[in-house]
Amino acid sequence: MMPTDPAHYTWRPACSYEQALDRTSRAYGIEPEYWDIWGHHHVASEAIRKSILASLGVNTGNLETLDNATSSQALADWAGLLPPTIVISEREFAGSGVPISVPASLAIGCASFVLKWEDGASSSISVDLEQLPVSGEAIFKSRRFIRKRVNFPDAPRLGYHTLSVRLASADGTLQAQTRLTIAPDRTYQPDWLRAGGRTAGIGISLYGLRSERNWGCGDTTDLEGFCDWAVALGVDFIALNPLHAIPNRQPYNTSPYLPNCAFYRNLIYLDIERIEGFQSSRAVQRLLRQPGIQSEIATLRATDTVEYERVQHIKLLFLKLLFREFLREWKRDSPRSCAFTDYVAAEGDLLEKYALHEALWQTIHQRNKTIWNWHSWPEPFRDPDSPQTRSFALAHPNRILFFKYIQWQLDLQLTHAHKHALDCGMRIGLYHDLALATDRFGADLWTHRTFYASGARVGAPPDDFSPNGQDWGFPPPNSKQHFQDGYRLFADSIRQASRHGGALRIDHVMRFFRLYWIPEGLDAANGAYVRDHYEDLIRVLALESVRNRTIVIGEDLGTVPDFVRETLDAFGIFSYRLFYFEQDANKQFRLPNVYPRQALVSAATHDLPTLAGFWRNRDIEARRAAGLLPGGPAYDGALADRTREKQKILDLLFCLDLVPGSLPHDAAQIPELTGELHSAIVGFLASTPSQLLLLNQEDLFKDVDQQNLPGSTSEYPNWRHKMRFFIEELGQQPASDFAAMFEYWLQRSGRRPTHMK
């Protein structure tokens, strides 16, 4: 629920059901209207608002129940001395202080505060409330509350602290406690970037890296090899797909943007041969020498697309043997086992619950192969805190420990990979991606379901990209629960995603401000936007960014209100600008000099056609083949639109003298992305003032197939495409020619770091 006005609030019963519904909807953040990209006005119907309120636990049966919902929540905002969580900046803590609400009759008493800092130190003060000015008041029938602000003599310290207050009166003692988060005003940026420096990186899908040594998909050793090659071009970062844990089940459970768990990683990225004990274990080496194993590894390595289930299966065979060997060492209390114990202790309940879910899933699925997720588990196990679930955990400690061991190995290898990127000369290193979604059938929903609203899904209203709107199929966050819990789980998600990297992309950064909710039983055209506590969330993000020394990029594509981009810019969050989408009101491509400075610029994303695919209409043909684009007028219209888009691009490149005059001026005479066009578009991107340039490997190497075709499942090999070249071939032609072109533009545009020249 959105907080009440801090200046003045008077509770009055609603005069009608419609007024009560409108007030309750606004109080819970439901926006009454929105404008679509065509300028059409949409009003959230009564049915939509009632359905969304019901998903948040509000009884919309009559005027009285709606009044009770708003009055009880508003009263809680004022009657609790301290709110459940307070998120403020360093300046606010030092200047205006911390808010406290008290009954008016007690506003002249003495309040005792204890501020326990994150590091364990504490300080105490006593305050005469009568001496403090009033900053707000609220009246509930005959009850009046006063809000004041308390200043502390201590200098502000960034972090998560605990603030307690005790107020004695003739009627007894009032007490309250809150999680006090003191955050910076901006996210982290290194000095050279803050001073206006520009740089570049290459984007890859880690699963798609090819090498002559991997086991069918890219792994952490391939990542280090790619870094060795890329740093010579002058890039400062390697952008990765989300590495979140997913079920690895084709074709429905391979999207890195719909994770089983957003806090932990996918085991397929492990280099099994690099795990300690692999070379010395006789059991492991015997298994490796088996002809069937050798044949399977060779086959998986040679496929043009990733075979998720087979890769996971063969890696799990070896992981189980390696874990069995490790258990013997763990019982001897070796330095390595102590390191594992420390890792598990540091991860705490977050890892415990994830590993418990995985152990339960493995056990139940082995007994019944038709059961794929926790929604179909026996009823007692659907609750992570049930007596039966706790009994399972006590009876199977090693099964649970196995999945903790896997995450420990991933942590070790990714730590090494990021260090390797920095050691070889990159100033940012690895750039990670935090998905917006989480699978409603996955571990996160099993473990943390109270942090998600039921009865609604997240999506997007109709637009040019999706005329019928988009239903992403996952549940929205329960903002009230996050607020009540002090944003702990949200902070964990940022912290876990920021590890092993120098930059973090936030998928759909507008989530901090609002999300489009689609009530159960309705389609994507019938939803409404619901607001969130954006200032709190961005400040927590800024705190984690500064602590982890992580640059933040906010994916802000689509129709974005001005105040959203202004807020993100003020917090030092980089905008995300794509060449295809940067067009003015007249649908003309923008000139490079109007791109924002504090931004990352790129040609496309995983959901869009590659440069080569765009020019060859590959995405249009793929959509038609997948049944997503009907033939006839729709197909002809898509081709005609593409011809116009290509002509506008060509005209722009000629205007900027980025292509030679000998090139045809008619785009229809250029059926493929020529070397001249390729170089010109890369040059265009490099010439923008945007500080970060990202070129996906598909666009560097002129691949025609995009990683994901939205709306498709088995009709298209989503999230499975491998890189055109093996790692070992990157120094040879034609890969070296593409690299030389990119290096030329980095040098010419001043994006190549001085120490690399």
pLDDT score of 254: 96
Q: Report residue 632 as tokens.
A: 């006839």
Name the residue with tokens 């603030």: 163
For 410, half-sphere exposure in the C-beta direction (CA atoms, 13 angstrom radius) is 20
pLDDT surpassing 90 at residue 467: no
Comparing CA positions, the residue from 203, 42, 179, 141 lying closest to residue 606 is 203
Q: What is the mean pLDDT of residues 278-297?
A: 97
Find out whether 193 and 218 touch, Cβ atoms under 8 Å.
Answer: no
For the chain, give the longest Cα–Cα distance. 91
Single out the residue of 484, 551, 436 nearest to residue 178, CA to CA.
484
Q: 735-748 and 675-687 helices cross at what angle (nearest 10)?
A: 30
pLDDT exceeds cutoff 80 at 7: no
Rounded CA-CA distance 210/218 in Å is 6
Q: Which residues pair with 101 in a beta bridge?
A: 147
The CA distance from 219 to 206, in Å, is 7
H-only helix segments in 608-734: 611-615, 618-625, 633-655, 675-687, 697-700
Give the β-pairing of 551-554 and 503-506. Answer: parallel
For residue 170, pLDDT beyond 80: no
Mean pLDDT of 69-85: 90
**Could you report the per-residue pLDDT of 394-449, keeping only the tens digit for each?**
999 999 999 999 999 999 999 999 999 999 999 999 999 999 999 999 999 999 99
Q: How big is the CA angle at 605 (ends 603 and 608), to the nearest 5 degrees?
A: 90
Q: How confident is the model at residue 6 (pLDDT cuts 50, 70, 90)?
A: low
Q: What is the DSSP letter of 253?
A: B
Cα 256 from Cα 205, distance rounded (Å): 10
Integer CA distances (angstroms), 359 to 256, 327, 390, in order: 21, 17, 12
- Percent of the chain beyond pLDDT 90? 88
Tell me the pLDDT of the chain averaged across its residues: 94
What whole-number distance in Å separates Cα of residue 654 and Cα of residue 665?
A: 8
From the list 724, 615, 715, 712, the residue with the least C-alpha distance to 672 is: 615
Q: Which residues of 550-582 are buried (b: 16+ CB within 10 A; e: fewer)?
A: bbbbbbbbeeeeeebbebbbebbbbbbbbbbee
Tell me the C-alpha to C-alpha distance, in Å, between residue 665 and each of 6, 204, 673, 677. Answer: 62, 33, 14, 12
pLDDT tens per residue, range 318-346: 999 999 999 998 878 888 999 999 999 99
Mean pLDDT of the region 310-321? 98
Reduced to 3 states (helix: H, G, I; strand: E, B; else coil), residue 108 is coil
Cα separation of 23 and 38, whole Å? 29
Q: Does 328 or 219 have the greater pLDDT score? A: 219
Structure tokens at 405: 């061991």
The position carrying tokens 């404008």 is 35
Mean local confidence (pLDDT), 714-725: 97
Phi (first) and psi of residue 599, to 5 degrees: -155, 160
* Helix, strand, coil abundance in the chain, percent, nearest 5: 45, 20, 40
Residue 295 CB partners (closer than 8 Å, separation 6+): none
The span from the CA of 335 to the CA of 754, in Å, is: 41
Which residues are CB-neighbours of 546 under 8 A, at least 6 positions away? 158, 184, 187, 188
What does the alpha-carbon distance between residue 555 and residue 558 come to, in Å, rounded to a whole number? 9
User: How far is it, in rounded angstroms, from Cα 591 to Cα 558?
Assistant: 19
Element (H, E) at 244: strand 244-245
CA distance 308 to 264: 17
Higher pLDDT pick, 449 / 3 = 449
Q: Which helix (H) or strand (E) holds 172?
A: strand 172-183
User: Is the per-residue pLDDT at 526 higher than 90?
Assistant: yes
Cα distance between residue 711 and residue 715, in whole Å? 9
Per residue in 346-401, pLDDT (tens digit) is 999 999 999 999 999 999 999 999 999 999 999 999 999 999 999 999 999 999 99
What CATH architecture is 80-183? Answer: Sandwich (2.60)
Q: Residue 54 CB: number of other CB atoms within 10 A?
A: 18
Give the pLDDT mean for 662-669: 95
- At residue 755, the pLDDT reads 60
Residue 757, pLDDT score: 47
Sequence length of the chain is 757
Task: Tell me the pLDDT tens digit for each residue of 535-582.
Answer: 999 999 999 999 999 999 999 987 788 999 999 999 999 999 999 999
Residue 450 has pLDDT above 60, yes or no: yes
Pairing of strands 599-602, 692-696: parallel
Of the chain, the percentage scoring pLDDT greater than 70 comes to: 98
Residue 549 Cα distances to 87, 246, 425, 444, 588, angstroms: 20, 27, 17, 26, 38
| Better-predicted residue by pLDDT, 141 or 719 | 719
Q: What is the mean pLDDT of residues 453-478?
A: 87
Task: Kindly tell me the sign of the dihedral angle through the C-alpha atoms of 374, 379, 381, 384.
Answer: positive
DSSP per residue, 51-89: HHHHHTT---SSHHHHHHHHHHHHHHHHHTSS-SEEEEE
Exposure string of 485-497, with b = 16+ CB inside 10 Å and e = fewer, is bbbebbbbbbbbb
Q: pTM for this one?
A: 0.95
